[in-house]
Amino acid sequence: MRLKSFYAKTMTEAMQLVREALGEDAIIIATREENGGKSVRVTAAIEDDMPAATARARAIAFEFGQELHGSVADEDDWLQYDDEIDENDSLAETIIDVMLSHGVPEEVLDQIVNCAEVLSVDEPSIAFVGALDSLFTYTPLPSVPYKKALMFVGTPGAGKTLVVAKQAARAVLDDLKVAVITTDVVRAGAIEQLQAFTKLLNIELKTARTAEDLKRQIASLRHMDQILIDTPGINPFATSDMTALARLIAVGDIEPVLTIAAAGDAIETGEMARIFSALGVKRMVATRLDIARRLGGLLCAAQQGGLSFADYSATTSVADGLEPLSPRKLASFFFPSGSDQKSARSEQSSQTSTSSHSRHKTTG
C-alpha cells in the first residue's frame, strides 16, 4: 500500500484530489480538519506495484532493531490468505486494546487501526509508529533564532509557566538571546514564580498588563533571538476569556502554542484543541507525561484541532527541559518496552479485549 495525504478547503475538493491522484480504488484512511476548520486533510491508500510501503515499513522496523517478517503477498500466493487475516486481526486487536486502555475515542482509534493495517507490518508497536507518522504532523519548538514571538496558551494548570522556563533555558544553552514576557499579572504569585526561573537564567522578566503593553514590549525586544510570552490560564468555553486572548495574539507577529496536560479527558481535550485552533494555534506542547497514564487526549487534540505535535515535558525540572515529540517517542508512551510493556498488558482484562474486538468488527 502507498499512503498519501491531500489538503483542500473542503472535503469535496479533497476527495476530488484523491480521485485524480490515486484513482477510484483509493481507500480513505482518515480525515481531519486543519487550520481551525478552514481546510481539511484526507489520508488515502492505494495498492502500489512498487515496494515503497514495504520499504517504509522495513525502515521503521530497523529503527526498532527488529527484522520485518512478512511483506506484501504475491497475487498468486492465495494459500497464505487465512494466515494474513489472522495476523491482521491480531495486529488490530493489540493496537485496539492499547488505545482503549488510554481512552482513545472511537473515531481516532478507527483511523489509527485502518492506517496500521495497510502498512505491511506485522509487529503492532511498529505499525503503530507508522500510523502516527502518517496521520499526524510533528513540528518541534525552534532551537534557533525565530522571528515570531512564541505565546504559550492553555487552560489553568496546564504548565505554561514551566514550559516557558524550559524553552528559555534551552535557548540560553544554545547561546541565543532570549526575552520573556508575562501577561499573567492577576494570579497570585504568577510573576514571582516565573521570575524565580528567569533570575537563574539571568533574564529580565518583562510584564504586560494590556494588549498595548504587550505590543510595546515586543517592539522593544525585536533584537532578541527568541521572545517567549507566558499567559494566564483561560477557559476556552468562556467567550470573554477567548476574546481577551485573541486581542493579545493580534498585537504583533505572534505564534500561539497550545500547552496541554497529557492526562485529560479525551473528548473534552479534543474540543478545547479545536477551539484554540480557531485562534491560530497550529502546534501543541504536551506536559506531565510522567504522571499521565491515559494519553488519548493528546491524539484527540491533534485530530480534532488539526494540531502538530511539538515538544513534551515529563519532569518538573527546568534543567531537563523539553524534548521533541516524534512518532517513535509518542508511540513509546503507548507501547512501553520490556517489563513495562508486560506489566501494562497484564492490567488489561479479557473483557476489554473481547469488547474491543467486537467494536472493531462492528465499525470496521
Q: Who has greater pLDDT, 99 or 83? A: 99
Those residues whose C-beta lies under 8 Å from the C-beta of residue 208, and which sit 6 or more positions away, are 181, 182, 183, 185, 214, 216, 217
C-alpha cell at 149: 514571538
* Residue 41 and residue 169 in one domain: no
User: Is the pLDDT confidence value at 69 over 50?
Assistant: no
What average pLDDT does the structure give for the chain? 82
Q: What is the pLDDT of residue 16?
A: 83
User: Is the pLDDT confidence value at 170 over 50?
Assistant: yes
* Within-domain flag for 313: yes
User: What one-character-per-residue DSSP string does 275-326 give?
Assistant: HHHTTT--EEEEE-TTT-S--HHHHHHHHHHTPEEEEE---S-TTT--EE--
Q: What is the pLDDT of residue 48?
A: 60
* Residue 44 and residue 155 in one domain: no
Q: What is the pLDDT of residue 119?
A: 83
* Within-domain flag for 178: yes
User: Is the pLDDT confidence value at 74 over 50?
Assistant: no
SS3 of residue 265 by DSSP: coil
User: Is the pLDDT confidence value at 151 over 90?
Assistant: yes
User: Is the four-CA dihedral 19, 22, 28, 32 of positive or negative sign?
Assistant: negative
C-alpha cell at 333: 508512551
* Within-domain flag for 360: no
Q: Who has greater pLDDT, 188 or 110? A: 110
Regarding pTM above 0.95, the answer is no
Q: What is the pLDDT of residue 158?
A: 94
* Within-domain flag for 22: yes
* Within-domain flag for 237: yes
Please, which pLDDT band fits residue 363 given cuts at 50, 70 and 90? very low
| Mean of pLDDT values over 219-225 | 96
User: Is the pLDDT confidence value at 56 over 60?
Assistant: no
> Cα angle at 362 between 360 and 364, to 5 degrees?
60
Number of compact structural domains in the chain: 2
* Residue 159 and residue 282 in one domain: yes
Find cell 505565546 and name the residue: 151
Q: What is the pLDDT of residue 189?
A: 80
Q: Who has greater pLDDT, 80 or 172? A: 172
Q: Closest Cα to residue 130, out of 52, 41, 42, 32?
A: 52
Please, which pLDDT band fits residue 64 given cuts at 50, 70 and 90? low
* Residue 177 and residue 316 in one domain: yes
Give the other-Cβ count within 10 Å of 189's Cβ. 10
Are 151 and 231 a contacting pair, CB within 8 Å?
yes
Q: What are phi and psi of 312, to 5 degrees?
A: -140, 160
Are 134 and 152 a contacting pair, CB within 8 Å?
no
* Residue 26 and residue 157 in one domain: no
Give the CB-side neighbour count of residue 209, counting CA atoms within 13 A: 1
* Within-domain flag for 309: yes
* Within-domain flag for 70: no
For the CA atoms of the chain, what is the radius of gyration? Answer: 22
Longest dimension (CA), the chain: 72
Q: What is the pLDDT of residue 84?
A: 44
* Within-domain flag for 37: yes
Q: Closest Cα to residue 231, out of 180, 170, 298, 291?
A: 180
User: Is the pLDDT confidence value at 43 over 90?
Assistant: no
* Residue 156 and residue 291 in one domain: yes
Range of the domain at 23: 1-49
Q: CA-CA distance, 276 to 304, in Å (whole number)?
A: 11
User: Is the pLDDT confidence value at 76 over 70?
Assistant: no
| Mean of pLDDT values over 341-359 | 41
> Cα angle at 50 between 47 and 51, to 5 degrees?
95
* Residue 170 and residue 285 in one domain: yes
User: Is the pLDDT confidence value at 25 over 80?
Assistant: no
Residues constituting the chain: 364
User: Is the pLDDT confidence value at 111 over 70?
Assistant: yes
User: Is the pLDDT confidence value at 345 over 90?
Assistant: no
Those residues whose C-beta lies under 8 Å from the C-beta of residue 271, and which sit 6 or more positions away, are 304
SS3 of residue 248 by DSSP: helix
Q: What is the pLDDT of residue 353?
A: 42
End-to-end CA distance of the chain: 18
Please, which pLDDT band fits residue 141 given cuts at 50, 70 and 90? very high
Q: What is the pLDDT of residue 301?
A: 96
Find cell 516524534 and name the residue: 326
* Residue 173 and residue 297 in one domain: yes
CATH of the domain at 192: 3.40.50.300
Q: Who has greater pLDDT, 97 or 10? A: 97
